[in-house]
Chain A
Amino acid sequence: MSTGNMNLTLQVWRQKNSKSAGKLVDYKLSEISPDMSFLEMFDVLNEQLITKGEEPVVFDHDCREGICGMCSMFINGQPHGPKDLVTTCQLHMRSFKDGDTIVVEPWRAKAFPVIKDLAVDRSAFDRIIASGGFVSVNTGNAQDANALPIPKLQADAAFEAAACIGCGACVATCKNASAMLFVSAKVSQLALLPQGQPERYRRVQSMVAQMDEEGFGNCTNTGACEAECPKGISLENIARMNRDYFTAKFASEEEV
């Protein structure tokens, strides 16, 4: 099935389950095409392993077109590998050189326990969303477009925040395993729009409380998350969340 001429050494994290200790295992791959995506290269590896009667490497993936956020791989020291603004499924082997050694590890954070090999449990993100990352109104029929005037800058900022795919690269790369970029994007996308206003200050308090509960670290503004985010989510969102949190705690009379 291989069609190219790249020879690679992979060092892949193998771990049986969340309880056992894992280790890096070396695999040799040959005739890899530079046009393959990183995940297709892993498909080749897994076919080899299956043919040899070994356990294939477990890794998360779904859409393979950069929109679902499942393909978590920490590649050569960076989440989603060396390229900016791409997920692992959108990373191609032409980003590497023939003869390279590539180290692939799972996201590492206490809040993201390893399920098996490269797959981690990111349900902590789901619980943060469930704690307040929504608008609880009956929606009914779709409104007329432009019935609610929203300034262009505001709409753009909300749209940019909403681009977050919940991949967790921000947590993976942060030296503190902080989830602030993700949470701030999910807070901002609603805080910026009129529909999000009624629950704005309750939401930010609940989501931050849940984030702390899950055991993520604290932001120290190193900016690593923004640099590695495949969707270019901006640190402005973190400042907005901090601002809203401040207002919520000191000015809002609602106890959360």
Chain B
Amino acid sequence: MSSLSKAFTSSIGRKYVMGLTGLFLITFLILHVSINALIFANDGGETFNIAANFMSHNIVVRILEIGLFAGIILHIIQAVMLTAQNNAARPEKYAYNKPQANSKWYSRSMGLLGTLILMFLVLHLYHFWWPTKVAVFSHEEHNTFHGIVAIFQELWVVVVYILGVISLGYHLLHGFQSSFQTMGWNHRKWTPVVRTIGIWFSIIVPIIFALMPISVYLGWIS
């Protein structure tokens, strides 16, 4: 195997892919949360729909969307392969282990949190991505805002979305700073800054997301 291809299949190489796709997904989240927050304008979805229509029809955004799916799939494939190797690296478990003495539960549960995010993602795509796609291909007018209002009338949906973004929050609480460390961006001056931004990002983004179904369900937005 050439040195260059080993760069992606070695332990550290796979971690680069994890870190880079993770950071890419984080930039997507920034865009996603910003656009969706337009529903808080509370103008019957006028502003939000303009943005949503632009996003579902613009060619550059369409290409980025393919990149986004590729990113998520790569992230998941690497996660599965790394996790399998990690489990194989300790065939016999400790009879008595005390991991809470030296690390955070969410740092040790990235695979579980990721799986929860993935399960949520399937429902989420079914709710919002699929109807938009159908509308684009059949050249129908699609009012995404009405879709949001309709979907968040049911309590169980609201609860599932809240659990979904909580999983995301904990995934990011570890993942945000972890991706910088993986890429080797550790610096005595900058790492504390990255960690602080990471913590606030992991709290604020999920809260904004969670407020969307909550606001619709409680009738604050209509």
Is B truly associated with A?
Answer: yes
Contacts from A to B (Cβ < 8 Å):
11, 13, 24, 74, 76-78, 82, 103, 105, 108-111, 173, 175-178, 180, 205, 208-209, 211-212, 215-224, 227-228, 235-236, 238-246, 249-250, 255-256
8 CB contacts below 8 A, A to B, read: A78-B101, A178-B86, A208-B10, A221-B181, A224-B103, A242-B183, A243-B183, A249-B3
The secondary structure that dominates the B interface is: helix
Chain B residue numbers with a CB within 8 Å of A216 are: 11, 89
Partner of A238, one of B13, B89, B95, B181: B181
**B2 within 8 Å of A (CB atoms):** yes
A220-B110, A242-B184 given; A76·B98 CB < 8 A: yes
Q: Digit string of B81-114 for contact with A (CB within 8 Å is 1, else 0)?
A: 0100110111111111111011110011010000
Residues in chain B near residue A178, CB distance under 8 A:
11, 86, 89
B4 within 8 A of A: yes
CA distance A223 to B191 in the complex (A): 14
Chain A at the B interface: SS class: mixed
| Complex Cα gap A227–B104 (Å) | 11
B29 on the A face (CB < 8 A): no
The residue on B at minimum CB distance from A229 is B102
| CB-based contact B90/A110 at 8 Å | yes
Please tell me which one of the listed residues A208, A211, A235 contacts residue B181 in the complex, with CB atoms under 8 A apart.
A235
Q: Known: A175-B108, A222-B104, A224-B103. Is A109-B90 also a contact (CB below 8 A)?
A: yes
Chain A positions within 8 Å of B103 at CB level: 175, 222-224, 227
Report whether A218 and B86 are in contact in the complex, using a CB–CB cutoff of 8 Å.
yes
Residues 136-188 of B contacting A (Cβ, < 8 Å): 174, 177-178, 181-186, 188
CA distance A180 to B97 in the complex (A): 20
B12 surroundings in chain A (CB, below 8 A) = 208, 241-242, 245-246
Q: B16 an interface residue at 8 Å Cβ cutoff? A: yes
Residue on B nearest A247 in the bound complex, by CB: B184
Contact B102 A227 (CB under 8 A): yes
A215 to B16, CA, bound (A): 19
CB distance from B153 to the nearest CB of A (A): 40
**B181 cross-chain contacts in A, Cβ below 8 A:** 221, 235, 238-239, 242
In the complex, the answer to whether B178 meets A82 with C-beta atoms within 8 Å is no
Closest to B89 in A: A217
Q: Are B99 and A250 in contact (CB under 8 A)?
A: no
Residues of A within 8 A of B95 (CB): 11, 13, 24, 103, 105
Distance in Å: Cβ of B105 to nearest Cβ of chain A:
10
* Residues of chain B whose beta carbon lies under 8 Å from any beta carbon of chain A: 2-4, 6-7, 10-16, 82, 85-86, 88-99, 101-104, 107-108, 110, 174, 177-178, 181-186, 188
Residues of B within 8 A of A180 (CB): 11
Of all A-B residue pairs in the complex, the 4 with the closest CB atoms, nearest first, are A77-B98, A243-B184, A239-B186, A217-B89
CB atoms of A211 and B11 under 8 A apart? yes
- Cα A234 to Cα B15 in complex, Å, equals 19
Q: Given A173-B102, A221-B178 in contact, is the A246-B10 Cβ separation under 8 Å? A: no
With A212-B10, A215-B89 known as contacts, the answer to whether A78 contacts B178 (CB < 8 A) is: no
Q: How far is the CB of B108 from chain A (nearest CB, A)?
A: 5
Q: Which of A105, A111, A176, A208 contacts B96 (CB 8 A)?
A: A105
Whether B92 lies near A217 (C-beta < 8 A) is no
Interface centre among B3, B108, B178 (most CB of A within 10 A): B3
* Contact between chains at B88 and A215 (CB < 8 Å): yes
Q: For the complex, give the distance between the alpha carbons of A24 and B16 in Å.
A: 40
In the complex, are the beta carbons of B184 and A240 less than 8 A apart?
yes
Shortest beta-carbon distance from B102 to chain A in Å: 4
Which residues of A have CB within 8 Å of B185?
A: 239, 243
Q: Considering the chains assembled together, what is the distance between the CA atoms of A118 and B86 in angstroms? A: 23
| Contact in complex: B101, A246 (CB < 8 Å) | no
Q: For residue A21, give the distance in angstroms from its CB to the closest CB of chain B.
A: 9
* B93 nearest in chain A by CB position: A108
Within the assembled complex, what's the spacing in Å between the Cα atoms of A82 and B101? Answer: 9
B98 touches A78 (CB 8 A): yes
